[in-house]
A and B are shown apart, each in its own frame.
Chain A
């Protein structure tokens, strides 16, 4: 029993990573109704930018804020240049665009910063949290930041005009235009916010998985899975989904025989798919009624 509890707690700790990534995923899904496969790479690139700033002497929090701004702007630029032209193209073509973006960012990052693993600092330190062997201060910090982000996003969407406009544009684009909302710019804004949130995720994750161009591959998939599990329309669901995915992953590794590191991912995914078969809209998603 104690092993079980320990693994659950450890899973929650690692799940904070996925929760943070899942928030970014839900953010973009709200804006554009699909998943952006390049989001992990964008987060990775932002993290490298922050690392570079620190190499040049900028202190951690300064680099953090600058990177946030850079990521926000970058997300908007990418959307306007590369995906606005594809707005009328079929969905699958857009997906091909995400894949192309992935390839470009990964390759450029590899060229600029090469593929050797780098250390990345954490502002929270890595000592045991409250004396517990299972959660480090950094992991506690991750959970804290994720929850803070969630609260900020909630306030943004519920209580600001822009937030209301974005919700409207995502919910019914045509009606949104009929009240004067520029839905095209809402999409750009969504990209910017998703990029910024992704950068935070990257900067939190890097101390744990170490900084290198391929660091986000697995994390992104878990992030997707967590977002889907939570219900793609619910930021709260995404965060809870993230923690659950962390727990699934840990329990699968501990209790299912023969599951080494390599099979953890497909097993976790399989568990999530099973939940979806039972609850297709995810745990917190709004059930969608489809009309002919």
Chain B
């Protein structure tokens, strides 16, 4: 099975500072992968590099086509949705407007309307609040909105940057359950970057561990979860 996303020798820079030192990994279609690592390891930078939001060199291929040189918005239009750190919700717009924005590049009006209804099925709380300003939603609700907005793109690949950040554990469990559902039923390939290793490893099939801009470990989620170094460094036992 050829990989849907192929990353080779990725180096990324913030000004003069190099954050990624030759990253390599691949995502198969339909997989749910998690990228683990400590703060500052380069997890967020990896996602940003895929979407060309940070200066980088190396080869990134999506469905065989290179992503380098394309603008962020063009990369998104290829079917890659990115839920950024901090969620990036349009706080001054309503919930429904946020969902409409997720689909702004689509031209099938009927499809968009039915997708919004599907999002409300996945996330009933959003339906309740659909005319509310997005900024008034709680953290967990905003995270759901961010995921829903990303799904409105009908993406083939969804990138999530620390979706558990700042959320209560029970809410994170619910969110991850929904992510699993989306991966299985809607066939969306998912790459989740997480600091919360335990839940992420329960959710994912495959895992990578990144340390100071390099992949140091890769394998199935179960293998990684049982790895002693990982348990000591990231799982706390």
Direct contact of A and B (CB under 8 A): yes
Query: What 0/1 readout, one digit per residue, does chain A (180-212) give for beta carbons within 8 Å of chain B?
Result: 111100000000000000000000000000000
With a cutoff of 8 Å between Cβ atoms, the chain A residues found around residue B77 in the complex are 180
Could you tell me the distance between the alpha carbons of A180 and B88 in the complex, rounded to whole angstroms? 14
A290 within 8 A of partner (CB): no
Taking a contact as CB atoms under 8 Å apart, the answer to whether A180 and B105 are in contact is: yes
Report if A286-B101 is in contact (Cβ < 8 Å); known contacts: A177-B73, A180-B153: no
Taking a contact as CB atoms under 8 Å apart, the answer to whether A164 and B84 are in contact is: no
Query: What 0/1 readout, one digit per residue, does chain B (34-58) give for beta carbons within 8 Å of chain A?
Result: 0000000000000000010100000
B213 within 8 A of partner (CB): no
Question: Measured between C-beta atoms, what is the minimum distance from A96 to chain B in Å?
Answer: 25
Q: Which residue of B lies closest to A233 (CB)?
A: B92
Pick from A164, A174, A182, A183: contact of B101, CB below 8 A: A164
B214 within 8 A of partner (CB): no
Could you tell me the distance between the alpha carbons of A174 and B161 in the complex, rounded to whole angstroms? 15
Report if A175-B88 is in contact (Cβ < 8 Å); known contacts: A180-B77, A183-B73: yes
Could you tell me the distance between the alpha carbons of A190 and B6 in the complex, rounded to whole angstroms? 38
Question: Measured between C-beta atoms, what is the minimum distance from B109 to chain A in Å?
Answer: 10
Report if A180-B93 is in contact (Cβ < 8 Å); known contacts: A174-B88, A175-B84: no
B196 within 8 A of partner (CB): no
Taking a contact as CB atoms under 8 Å apart, the answer to whether A165 and B53 are in contact is: no
With a cutoff of 8 Å between Cβ atoms, the chain B residues found around residue A181 in the complex are 73, 101, 104-105
Q: Which residue of B lies closest to A178 (CB)?
A: B82
A276 within 8 A of partner (CB): no
A256 within 8 A of partner (CB): no
Taking a contact as CB atoms under 8 Å apart, the answer to whether A180 and B76 are in contact is: yes
Chain A interface bracket (under 10, 10 to 19, 20 to 34, 35 or more) = 10 to 19
Taking a contact as CB atoms under 8 Å apart, the answer to whether A168 and B73 are in contact is: no
B140 within 8 A of partner (CB): no
Q: Which residue of A lies closest to B103 (CB)?
A: A179
A127 within 8 A of partner (CB): no
With a cutoff of 8 Å between Cβ atoms, the chain B residues found around residue A286 in the complex are 92
A172 within 8 A of partner (CB): yes
Q: Which residue of A lies closest to B97 (CB)?
A: A164
Taking a contact as CB atoms under 8 Å apart, the answer to whether B73 and A182 are in contact is: yes
Q: Which residue of B lies closest to A185 (CB)?
A: B73
Please report which residues of chain B, range 158-188, place their CB below 8 angstroms from some CB of chain A when the two chains form the complex. Answer: none
Taking a contact as CB atoms under 8 Å apart, the answer to whether B90 and A178 are in contact is: no
Could you tell me the distance between the alpha carbons of A281 and B151 in the complex, rounded to whole angstroms? 35
Q: Which residue of A lies closest to B84 (CB)?
A: A178
B100 within 8 A of partner (CB): yes
Could you tell me the distance between the alpha carbons of A51 and B124 in the complex, rounded to whole angstroms? 58
Taking a contact as CB atoms under 8 Å apart, the answer to whether A174 and B53 are in contact is: yes
Pick from B51, B71, B93: contact of A167, CB below 8 A: B93
Taking a contact as CB atoms under 8 Å apart, the answer to whether A171 and B92 are in contact is: yes
Contact count A vs B, C-beta below 8 Å? 60
Taking a contact as CB atoms under 8 Å apart, the answer to whether B88 and A168 are in contact is: no
| Chain B residue total in the interface (Cβ 8 A) | 23
A88 within 8 A of partner (CB): no
B149 within 8 A of partner (CB): yes
Please report which residues of chain B, range 126-167, place their CB below 8 angstroms from some CB of chain A when the two chains form the complex. Answer: 149, 153
Please report which residues of chain B, range 83-99, place their CB below 8 angstroms from some CB of chain A when the two chains form the complex. Answer: 84, 88-90, 92-93, 97
Question: Measured between C-beta atoms, what is the minimum distance from B126 to chain A in Å?
Answer: 16
With a cutoff of 8 Å between Cβ atoms, the chain B residues found around residue A172 in the complex are 88, 90
Report if A179-B105 is in contact (Cβ < 8 Å); known contacts: A171-B92, A171-B93: yes
Could you tell me the distance between the alpha carbons of A108 and B105 in the complex, rounded to whole angstroms? 41
Could you tell me the distance between the alpha carbons of A176 and B97 in the complex, rounded to whole angstroms? 12
Q: Which residue of B lies closest to A175 (CB)?
A: B88
Q: Which residue of A lies closest to B83 (CB)?
A: A178
With a cutoff of 8 Å between Cβ atoms, the chain B residues found around residue A175 in the complex are 84, 88-90
With a cutoff of 8 Å between Cβ atoms, the chain A residues found around residue B102 in the complex are 179
Could you tell me the distance between the alpha carbons of A286 and B135 in the complex, rounded to whole angstroms? 13
Could you tell me the distance between the alpha carbons of A164 and B105 in the complex, rounded to whole angstroms? 12
With a cutoff of 8 Å between Cβ atoms, the chain B residues found around residue A161 in the complex are 100, 104
Please report which residues of chain A, range 134-166, place their CB below 8 angstroms from some CB of chain B when the two chains form the complex. Answer: 161, 164-165
Taking a contact as CB atoms under 8 Å apart, the answer to whether B76 and A178 are in contact is: yes
Taking a contact as CB atoms under 8 Å apart, the answer to whether A165 and B104 are in contact is: yes
Taking a contact as CB atoms under 8 Å apart, the answer to whether A179 and B97 are in contact is: no
Taking a contact as CB atoms under 8 Å apart, the answer to whether A178 and B72 are in contact is: yes
Please report which residues of chain B, range 67-84, place their CB below 8 angstroms from some CB of chain A when the two chains form the complex. Answer: 71-73, 76-77, 81-82, 84
Told that A179-B101, A179-B153 touch, could you supply 4 new A-B pairs with CB distance under 8 A?
A164-B100, A168-B90, A177-B71, A182-B71
Give chain B's interface residues, CB within 8 Å of chain A.
Answer: 51, 53, 71-73, 76-77, 81-82, 84, 88-90, 92-93, 97, 100-102, 104-105, 149, 153
List 6 interface pairs A-B (beta carbons < 8 Å), by A numbering: A168-B101, A171-B93, A176-B101, A178-B84, A179-B104, A183-B73
Closest 3 CB pairs of A and B: A175-B88, A180-B105, A177-B72
